[in-house]
């Protein structure tokens, strides 16, 4: 994996092969960040990266100037790797080892952007629980976005706060917006 832009542009990061991850492809990541770049000033962002895995998305946000990045994953090896890499690159990333759903239920943090990349094989009810908890717990700022990466076999378009989705290869990014008025509660 590589960091696409920012102060560490072009930097390759080699994660241990034993980690249970499926990093977002460079093509999909570049497309996602092109969308986000038109909506946000990265140097003003507080970001939460759920199911962070290798930290691929966290490194990209931090390299582009995000002021605060919190990376949450339940795998101790992933959290150790992210913490080591963030320290090595002097990136403002805080790592948290936690089950993502327990984290969402207990945290009082608020972010401008929350990115979630759960395992594609996770059942749809669990996928739906992510935006449900984010909005019930008011974890986004008033103009905040939630982005959920999933396979084309999962459809989240009927959920409250859904804004739109974009497909890149076998990956889909579903966008949810805190100020979206077209909500069904």
- Rounded CA gap, 21 and 147, in Å? 18
In a 13 Å sphere around the CA of 101, the CA atoms on its Cβ side amount to 9
Mean pLDDT of all residues belonging to the chain: 92
Is the torsion defined by CA of 75, 79, 85, 86 positive or negative?
positive
Report whether 72 contacts 96 (CB < 8 A): yes
- Rounded CA gap, 120 and 150, in Å? 6
pLDDT at 46: 97
pLDDT at 19: 81
Q: How far is CA 166 from CA 98, 108, 179, in A?
A: 29, 30, 19
Task: Assign 42 a pLDDT band (cuts: 50, 70, 90).
Answer: very high
pLDDT at 91: 96
Backbone angles phi, psi at 36, to 5 degrees: -65, -35
- Residue 171 parent element (H or E): strand 171-177
- Rounded CA gap, 182 and 185, in Å? 10
N residues, the chain: 185
Q: Higher-confidence residue: 68 or 18?
A: 68
pLDDT digits (tens, 9 = 90+) for 168-182: 888 899 999 987 654
- Rounded CA gap, 181 and 163, in Å? 10
- Rounded CA gap, 29 and 59, in Å? 12
Task: Assign 22 a pLDDT band (cuts: 50, 70, 90).
Answer: confident
Task: Assign 185 a pLDDT band (cuts: 50, 70, 90).
Answer: very low
Q: What is the DSSP letter of 12?
A: B
pLDDT digits (tens, 9 = 90+) for 46-82: 999 999 999 999 999 999 999 999 999 999 999 999 9
């Amino acid at each position: 994996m590589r960091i696409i832009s920012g102060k560490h542009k072009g930097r390759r990061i080699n994660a241990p092969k034993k980690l249970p991850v499926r990093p977002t492809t460079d093509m999909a990541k570049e497309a996602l960040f092109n969308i986000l770049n038109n909506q946000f000033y990265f140097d003003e962002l507080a970001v939460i990266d759920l199911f962070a895995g290798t930290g691929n998305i966290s490194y990209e946000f931090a390299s582009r100037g995000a002021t605060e990045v919190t990376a949450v994953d339940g795998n101790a090896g992933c959290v150790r790797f992210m913490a080591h890499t963030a320290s090595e690159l002097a990136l403002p990333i805080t790592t948290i080892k936690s089950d993502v759903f327990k984290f969402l239920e207990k945290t009082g943090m608020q972010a401008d952007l929350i990115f979630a990349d759960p395992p594609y094989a996770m059942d749809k009810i669990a996928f739906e629980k992510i935006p449900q908890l984010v909005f019930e717990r008011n974890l986004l700022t008033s103009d905040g976005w939630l982005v959920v990466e999933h396979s084309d076999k999962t459809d989240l378009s009927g959920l409250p706060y859904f804004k739109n989705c974009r497909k890149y290869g076998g990956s889909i990014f579903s966008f949810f917006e805190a100020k979206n008025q077209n909500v069904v509660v």
